[in-house]
Structure 1
Amino acid sequence: MGDRSRNIETTTSASAVHISLLQKVTGRSLAAESLVHSYSKSFSGFAAKLTKAETEKLSGHEGVVSVFPSQLRQLHTTRSWDFIGFPQTVARATVESDVIIGMLDTGIWPESQSFNASGYGPPPQKWKGTCQSSSNFTCNNKIIGARFYHAGSPRDTEGHGTHTASTAAGNIVTHASLLGLAAGTARGGVPSARIAVYKICWTLGCSDVDILAAFDDAISDGVDIISLSVGGAPTDYFQDAIAIGAFHSMKNSILTSNSAGNSGPAAGTVSNVSPWSLSVAASTIDRKFATGVKLGNGRTYVGGSINTYEASRMYGLIYGGDALNRTSGSDSRSCGAGSLDRNLVQGKIVHCDDVSGGQEPLAAGATGAIMTTSYTEDDAYPLLLPVSILTDAEGATIVEYINSTSDPTAEIFTTRDFVDNSSAYVIYFSSRGPNPITRDILKPDLTAPGVDILAAWSQATTVTGLPGDNRVVPYNIISGTSMSCPHASAAAAYVKSFHPTWSPAAIKSALMTTAHPLSVPDLPDAEFGYGSGEIHPSRAVDPGLVYDAGEIDYVQMLCGQGYNITQLRLVTGDQSSCSSAATNRTAVWDLNYPSFALS
């Protein structure tokens, strides 16, 4: 991506320039059809459908800075703010309502009480964006802008974008809960801030083509913070659309907050690792969920999951391995698709040796399921039918019970929530360092609550989003670094409201140097799990010391990492070059960064 040309003032004229270039590659008749997006507001570039030969031909044209393939990326899916010492009564800047958070996600459900515009004045004067309204979508003085990049409207049909937006900047809503669970007051970290929505994700994922278009628009529209709970496999910055988009937002004084990924606890799995963006891991809060199981012999267990269905009575209990659908040719022990014999399972609770969404037990007519896992699953989530998730060891004792009696029975109770006073820690699924791209820079940068988070939900989907689920709710509980990212985005917006002239690096530094360390189960190198620690927004307003950096500093770091001129300009989009002093590894160490790692 290149810098925005002063000679291209509109998207229309940019498209004409890009089509003209494509005509030299594809021919006059196919050029317009092959163009997908023109980026011209904040940086210059375009996306097009090209063959391999056409791509190679385009790369050789004068003025073409870079050509790289579009990838498909994935979403990284009440008490949390109080838990990290950021209560509703914390001191707030009078200009908080002038702060705009750009949410790049699955869209938003504008009718949610979390986005009610009562009491809001008009958008800040700096706002230059628009609302791509339609017959089923309108903006207001809370959701001040909305765009979409594929089809339909900015309306959220997945739930993810509504959840993240309300976590970051949702209104204060009392009596929020998921069907009675986690009842309390739901609110965003900066409840007076404005929201700009950029719908980049659909059911199958989030395309780089749309991600870059959203960055281009968000920068031009005038957002203050970009929140992006999306990622993929870590790759070099010059091939990473998110890193490139975040670099351009940094050049325009906008911090990009990213989810660190859900591929833990293995080492080296962290994604979104560019030093100019904020990479956020996921940690627990003090709310837990317990779903009890009682066997016919009186033995009881307490497992995970969120079961909103009312317990009624004991049901027959069968092991999935004893209920094989012999026509399927599959292993029924894990209750995989098509594996269970309906004649044996119907009306019973089935025991499964693995965790799933419950599709197969439900399809086979089961009234519930007991599932087991080798992980300590400290996150809870709803499933399609009554389910309790136990450990493999507990599951083995249940199989012993089934084999010991001619009439095994069990009951699964409705989930109860409770306060757990143990210290917060990084959850097992949160991606860990070391940084696979720049090993001398510690990633993730910090952690934030990302486990069992209650927030607003789309009414166009259900609790699980799976076929067979009819539960439509205004608030839902989900987990992931997707949930921790908007916590950090809100914290950054909070700092920005007190220090509107601070650079992205300064805001990031303030959050990192005021965070506090946590524990990380199953990983001795704790900092690779939580970075600088868990965010503490109220402390970050007055950090004392700030590690600042700008475009020149990051350019020198990339030079020190061994980037040649071509690779460097793929990231910066301008005529950046390396000085002789920055062509060795020490330039990475010289970056004024709040943390470092020894590679």
Structure 2
Amino acid sequence: MVHNCHVILLIVLSFIFLPCMKSSQSNDLRPYIIQMDVSTMPSPFATHESWYFSMLSSLSVSLNDQDAPTHLYTYTHAMHGFSAVLTASQLMQIEQTHGHVATFPESYAQLLTTHTPEFLGLKPNLGVSAASNHGSDVVIGIIDTGVWPESKSFNDEGMPPVPERWKGKCESGTQFNSSLCNRKLIGARFFRKGLKQSGNRVSTKNDYNSPRDFLGHGTHTASTAAGSPVPGASYFGYAYGCAQGIAPMARLSVYKAIFLDETQKAAATDVLAAIDQAIFDGVNVLSLSLGFPNMDYYTNVIAIGAFAAMEKGIVVVCAAGNDGMAYSVLNGAPWIMTVAAGTVDRDFFAKVTLGDNSKNIHGRSIFPSNKTVYDGDLYYGRGNKRMESCDIFALNETTVKGKIVFCSAGDDMSEQISEANRCEALGVIIVDNKKTFLLPGEYNVPAVIIDPTDVQVIKKYIKEGRTAKASLIFGETELGLKPAPRVASFSSRGPNYISPSVLKPDIMAPGFNILAAWVPNKSVQMIGNQNLYSDFKLDSGTSMATPHVAGVVALLRSIHPDWSPAAVRSAMMTTADIIDNTGKPITDMVASTVASPLDFGGGHINPNRAMDPGLVYDTGSEEYIDFLCGLRYTSRQIGVVTQKHGYKCGKASLDLNYPSFIVIMNGTSEVSRSFKRVLTNVEDSPSKYRAVVNAPAGLKVAVIPPVLFFKGKGSKQEFYVRVDVNIKGKGKGITGKFLGNFGFLSWIEIGGKHVVRSPIVSASTLQ
């Protein structure tokens, strides 16, 4: 059974708590996190923990001790301080103690993996999670950098015996014994022969000659897809909650094909060997958060291996890439499910307190909450008359050392932080007018990013003429932020360079600041000269989005084992969300403009609706081969991809039975294209659907016939779509240099609940 972190609402505080913590029986007692400045610890105390206990023991209590404070934890590395259950008066006494820095009321939520299952609408006892028994006995193969088997995310408590059909095994190697596998982690192999032959050394100095993960990436992706529940997970206090994979009852088999060698490259031979082994072992889903540069499918080992996997009924899910530009999408073969990255409704914040605490500014930060910059001198600029530039080598080290620097808006926030670090600044406040973001590891000094609208508050405070002081308080996590999701700035956009006649990416999933398991012996961040370590890490990329989709595929596979990989993809694409949590179209993370299917494919994944799509666009090997013929591949080239050698093209067509439509402009402003599609009913009962087109000016769409009738499960109906594009003076910028429009074709069930939606896109050729 799955250990669900059920949510309990405590009305008194309006916080969401998990049962991972015991709530007080008293109405007056509350749990708090107390952050302390250990440099102020009185000399009689040998340790800061003894100081905390002495502080708690001195607090006033009632005669019957029913309100006696209860110590919970002492924090030494993630932060300096402690947590305790206190009354309001006891809290006030502690806050008046010399050395008190900050108080955080304890709040808990099911954050990603601590939060994305919740954001995706996955509930333990409802919908697709319950119907699939959380992906029970589906095997997800992860081709990545290996696994850290001791992570709590891979514990097998409550899992039944390994299915008899499973052929995989665990290989022993450097610091990895086959006994480390269990009923959750049922396979672990490593592939490095190709890398070794390339002349690069792989040793215990820079990686493990075993399935053990050195880089952390593979552990992160595996736990995102199918990690077991882990209460109390966080990244130095951020995103605190119960970490859980999308399909927590699914099995994992890890194939290490990426090693940290001298060139930091993965050998294609090793990647292909990993795919080959995974197919043999019997995985149901294959997740690859990696990609080779855009190349023809007959030279791309992922495309080749994925074709063979598809023919065995294995759904192959791959990352779209992190280039963030048009025509940069990777892994675009139409038999692969290509995943874009989006944001979630969660972010991390810090507070800038000016002077005597009368002015507070809310800013963004993921600086580890084990350090608060308290009452530091605020440096505004030379003579405090203008804001200081914090670009590389712009600051005077002698002037700003030991101070909090208030920086004007610059081109690169990472460089600004580096400059503050070079000058040994106490902290830095950065103005961001581009809505960009930093990775958690880039916060190597205490840094808070504020909006331009808050600049005047600080300016006014400084002009008051007093000695400017500021405190930076970290560690705040907020949920329910709007708008969400948005397309992540780094997520690669379509069209696909190799075959632009198929819309890519296919789907968008959470990929921004995702909390998942990490290797405990690899530093996640450096503060000054101190390396920080954590069992969980926040990470971003289409690498993080991919295992979310793989986990959802596992849920669907458990419910619909007879569906083909194309049917699974269709179900997810045609039921995806195209609006955010404000009820408006999904936007771009940076530009805040309306995003396009070239950015998010069918939309943001909606697992519960994908379980019951009504109709699917199914596709098989023969259609994919006709597609390769349409790409004018030779018989030999087709044989390389399909293993069908000597194949002679009798039919060539770039018009696949795909759940999307795209018209490439080829340098013109007017063009027409016709499509043929076939829909298959996956419901038991007969049904009738009506076509509804939502298209902007410049995009004319005709559907014939406009009504389809399906007799029962498995019945098929074909239809035709004609798209006429005229973008003269009506073009809308979609992505980069591309001009075009987009709309949607929806098949709406008459008298029923199903809506089967497909994007229609026009886009210019590569500039």
TM range (shorter): 0.7 to 0.9
- The answer as to 2:217 corresponding to 1:160 is yes
Pairwise CA distance, 1:251: 2.3
Partners of 1:340 and 1:197 lie apart in 2 by 48
Give 1:235's aligned residue.
295
Superposition pairs of residues 19-418 of structure 1, within 5 angstroms: 78-90=114-126, 91-93=130-132, 96-134=135-173, 136-137=175-176, 138-150=180-192, 151=202, 152=208, 153-203=210-260, 204-264=264-324, 266-295=325-354, 301-309=361-369, 310-318=371-379, 336=392, 342-350=397-405, 353=410, 354-356=412-414, 358=417, 361-377=420-436, 381-382=440-441, 383-390=443-450, 409-418=469-478
What SS class does the counterpart of residue 552 from structure 2 fall into?
Answer: helix
1:566 aligned partner: 636
Change (3 A) 1:212 1:305: farther
C-alpha displacement at 1:269, in angstroms? 2.3
From the superposition, tell whether residues 206 and 403 of structure 1 become closer, same or farther in structure 2 (CA, over 3 Å). farther
Q: Are residues 409 and 199 of structure 1, via their aligned partners in 2, closer, same or farther at CA, if it must alter by over 3 Å? A: farther
Moved more, 289-298 or 496-505: 289-298
Match of 1:533, SS? coil
SS at match of 1:458: coil
Task: Report SS of the residue matched to 1:598.
Answer: strand
**CA drift at 1:217:** 1.5
Taking the aligned partners of 1:398 and 1:206, their CA distance within structure 2 comes to 49
Structure-1-length-normalised TM-score = 0.77
For residues 568 and 465 of structure 1, the distance between their equivalents in structure 2, rounded to whole angstroms, comes to 49
> Partner of 1:536 in structure 2?
606
Q: Which residue of 2 aligns with 1:56?
A: none
Asked if residue 592 in structure 1 is aligned to residue 649 in structure 2, the reply is no
Is residue 379–residue 479 contact of structure 1 (8 Å, CA) maintained in 2?
no
State the alpha-carbon separation in 2 of the partners of residues 279 and 413 from structure 1: 40
Q: Does structure 1 conserve the Cα–Cα contact (< 8 Å) formed by 2:339 and 2:545?
A: yes
Quickly say closer, same or farther: Cα 1:577–1:416, change in 2 above 3 A. same
In the alignment, which of 520, 525, 528 is matched to residue 587 of structure 2? 520
Q: Is the 8 A contact 2:373 2:426 kept in 1?
A: no
Query: Residue 429 of structure 2 aligns to which amino acid in structure 1?
Result: I
| Contact 2:525–2:531 (CA under 8 A) maintained in structure 1 | no
Counterparts of 2:394 and 2:522, CA distance in 1 = 27
SS where residue 186 of structure 2 aligns? strand
CA gap 1:115/1:375 in 2 versus in 1, 3 angstroms: same
Q: TM-score scaled to structure 2, two decimals?
A: 0.61
- The alpha carbon displacement at 1:80 in A equals 0.7
SS in 2 for 1:482: helix
Query: Mean Cα displacement is larger for which, 144-153 or 180-189?
Result: 144-153
Say if 1:372 and 1:241 are closer, same or farther in 2 by CA, change over 3 A: farther
Displacement of 1:219 in angstroms is 1.2
1:210 and 1:465 map into 2 onto residues whose CA distance is 32
In 1: Cα distance, 2:548 partner to 2:327 partner: 23
Distance 2:190 2:399 in 1: 48
Cα pair 1:105 1:160 within 8 Å, conserved: yes
Which of 496, 499, 502 is the equivalent residue of 1:441? 502
Q: Distance in 2 between matches of 1:98 and 1:178?
A: 30
Q: Is the 8 A contact 2:225 2:246 kept in 1?
A: yes
Equivalent position amino acid for 2:497 in 1:
P
* Structure 1: unaligned runs, 5 residues or longer: 1-77, 323-331
Identify which range, 396-405 or 78-87, moves more after superposition: 396-405
CA-to-partner distance for each residue in 1:489-536, whole Å, 9 max, x for gaps?
001111111122322112111211221213123455521121111112
Distance between the aligned counterparts of 1:95 and 1:566, measured in 2?
Answer: 43
- Corresponding position of 1:546: 616
Within 5 Å, give how 1:404-553 maps onto structure 2.
409-422=469-482, 423-464=484-525, 468-518=529-579, 519-521=586-588, 522=591, 523-524=593-594, 526-553=596-623
Q: CA offset at residue 395 of structure 1? A: 7.2
Q: Secondary structure at the match of 1:441?
A: coil
Offset of residue 333 of structure 1: 5.1
The answer (yes or no) to whether the contact 1:384–1:469 under 8 Å persists in 2 is no
Conserved 8 A contact 1:318-1:402: no
Structure whose residues are more often strand by fraction: 2
Amino acid of the structure 2 residue aligned with 1:86: L
CA gap of 1:290–1:215, structure 2 versus 1, over 3 A, is same
| Distance in 2 of aligned mates of 1:514 and 1:222 | 28
In structure 2, C-alpha distance between the alignment counterparts of 1:215 and 1:321, rounded to whole Å: 60
Post-superposition offset of 1:93: 3.1
Is the 8 Å Cα contact of residues 487 and 595 (structure 2) preserved in structure 1? Answer: no
Q: Evaluate the alpha carbon distance shift between residue 410 and residue 494 of structure 1 in structure 2; reply closer, same or farther with a 3 A threshold.
A: same
Q: Could you tell me how far 1:321 is from its partner in structure 2? A: 10
Instruction: In structure 2, give the amino acid aligned to 1:346.
Output: K
CA distance in structure 1 between the partners assigned to 2:657 and 2:217 by the alignment? 35
410 and 569 in structure 1: CA distance in 2 versus 1, 3 angstrom threshold: farther
Q: 2:706 is matched with which residue? A: none
8 Å CA contact 1:320, 1:334 repeated in 2: no
- CA 367–507 in structure 1, closer or farther in 2 if over 3 Å, else same: same
Deviations 1:219-248 (A, max 9, x none): 111111111111244332223222222122
Paired residue for 1:45?
none
Kept in 1, the 8 Å contact 2:225–2:550? The answer is yes
Asked if 1:555 is matched to 2:625, the reply is yes
Unpaired runs of at least 5, structure 2:
1-113, 193-201, 203-207, 580-585, 665-767
Return the alpha-carbon distance in structure 1 between the equivalents of residues 557 and 587 of structure 2: 30
Q: 1:12 aligns to what?
A: none
1:82-124 per-position Cα deviation (integer Å, ceiling 9, x unaligned): 1111112232335933211111112111111111122333322
1:514–1:401 CA distance, 2 compared to 1 (3 A): same
Structure 2 residue aligned with 1:30: none
Displacement after TM superposition at 1:334 (Å): 5.2
- Cα distance change on mapping 1:555 and 1:414 into 2, 3 Å: same
Task: Check the 8 A contact 1:288/1:420 in 2, yes or no.
Answer: no
Q: Give the paired residue count.
A: 506
> Displacement, 1:405?
7.8
Equivalent in the alignment of 1:50: none
Query: Bigger relative contact order, structure 1 or 2, given CA contacts below 8 A and separation 6+?
Result: 1
Distance 1:490 1:314, change over 3 A: same
Greater share of helix: 1
Deviations 1:545-593 (A, max 9, x none): 12221222111111112222233233223315342431xxxx111x111
What SS does structure 2 have at the residue aligned with 1:256? strand
